[in-house]
Amino acid sequence: MFGQQADRVMALGEWEEYWQRNEIGFHQPQVILKNNIDKVLNGRKGVRFFFPLCGKAVDMKWLADMGHSVVGVEISEKAIRQFFEENNMTYTEEPVPAIPGAKVYKNSEKNISLYQCDLYAFSSSIDGHFGAIWDRGSLVAINPADREKYAALIISLMAKDCRYLLETLLYNPDLYEGPPFFVPDEQLHSLFGSSCDIELLQSVDAMTDLQRQWGLDKFTQNAHLITPKSS
């Protein structure tokens, strides 16, 4: 089902090299979350958002400007510095005692904290639970063999009223090795279905020249809303 992707492993250093070479085709200069923000907020104000594998997503600034708070995790220090600099925000940096080698970069005025560390070193004991999670380029970017570990971490970070917006990508994994990786809808049910409800919000054709260069013939982007079952 996963073609050549099942055993594909990207080392953290490879991501850093992408950043150093400025090969960051995944970065989008526009706010992507706009389309589904009402579904995620569900009328709530001052929501704590978590951005796993945040890169320098401009959505983080957009949410903070609306009065929400944002916590992100990203391995590349360059990405984090660029986020603050490109958005004209000052920031402080300090070590995270509970995670050896990690740093947290903060703009306190806007309530944005970005942790520079491996995602799997992060947990609710570091920065609590979240009312919303925005997952674009995250589940599809981690190594396919780590998906169960990833889902367990995400579930452990959810507050009871959490609304988790997840973008997945559907394409033929025999044609391209990734990342981004192919994540079939059926797998979402095995990853999240025992503790969460999963609703497909949109399914759109997202084929561009980039996907044609990768050798793909079809490329679909699905947006899912995942919520804890008891809520």
d(CA 101, CA 187): 33
Residue 147 lies near ligand SAH (rule: CB under 6 A): no
Give whichever of 55 and 178 is closer to ligand SAH, judged by the CB atom: 55
Residue 75 lies near ligand SAH (rule: CB under 6 A): yes
Stretch that binds ligand SAH, among 54-62, 90-98, 186-194, 206-214 (CB under 6 A): 54-62
d(CA 13, CA 16): 5
Give whichever of 101 and 186 is closer to ligand SAH, judged by the CB atom: 101
Give whichever of 55 and 144 is closer to ligand SAH, judged by the CB atom: 55
Stretch that binds ligand SAH, among 50-58, 87-95, 101-109, 194-202 (CB under 6 A): 50-58
d(CA 214, CA 172): 11
Residue 87 lies near ligand SAH (rule: CB under 6 A): no
Residue 151 lies near ligand SAH (rule: CB under 6 A): no
d(CA 13, CA 216): 27
Give whichever of 2 and 26 is closer to ligand SAH, judged by the CB atom: 26
> 187, 158, 221, 217: which is closest to 28 by C-alpha?
221
Residue choice 57, 60, 80, 102 for contact with ligand SAH (CB under 6 A): 57
* Count of residues near ligand SAH by CB under 6 A: 19
Residue 132 lies near ligand SAH (rule: CB under 6 A): no
Residue 102 lies near ligand SAH (rule: CB under 6 A): no
> 160, 63, 157: which is closest to 112 by C-alpha?
63
Residue choice 36, 138, 168, 222 for contact with ligand SAH (CB under 6 A): 138
Stretch that binds ligand SAH, among 91-99, 134-142, 186-194, 197-205 (CB under 6 A): 134-142
How near is the Cβ of 127 to ligand SAH at its closest, in Å? 14
Residue 62 lies near ligand SAH (rule: CB under 6 A): no
Residue choice 48, 61, 136, 163 for contact with ligand SAH (CB under 6 A): 136
Interacting residues with ligand SAH (CB under 6 A): 12, 15, 26-27, 53-55, 57, 73-76, 79, 118-119, 136-138, 141
